[in-house]
Amino acid sequence: MMTDVCLNSTTRAAFDFGFKNTIIGDPTAKRDRIMNVQMVKAADIQRSFLVGISALGNSYTAIMNTADF
């Protein structure tokens, strides 16, 4: 599942239906992407969704790594 598309939309929808979500972040995937004629690295996209104060982590899910889970 691509983090910024499938994982993002599935997590938000599950939250809207009342599920308590947990994402195991380290096995998720992303590829480099061209956005507005600029290359955005996969690692930067992953970080923006899964690390620290993130798009998903603040409201929609708990984010853990495999070892902690």
**Is the Cβ–Cβ distance between 7 and 28 less than 8 Å?**
yes
Residue 69 lies in a domain: no
Rounded to whole angstroms, how far apart are CA atoms 44 and 46?
A: 5
Mean pLDDT calculated for residue range 6-34: 89
Rounded to whole angstroms, how far apart are CA atoms 46 and 52?
A: 11
Residue 32 lies in a domain: yes
Which structural domain, as residue segments, surrounds residue 56? 3-64
Mean pLDDT calculated for residue range 28-48: 89
Number of domains in the chain: 1
Give the pLDDT band (50/70/90) at residue 54: low
Residue 56 has pLDDT above 60, yes or no: yes
| The model's pTM | 0.75
3-state SS, residue 6: helix
Residue 26 lies in a domain: yes
Rounded to whole angstroms, how far apart are CA atoms 32 and 20?
A: 30
Residue 57 lies in a domain: yes
- As a whole number of angstroms, the longest Cα–Cα distance in the chain is 38
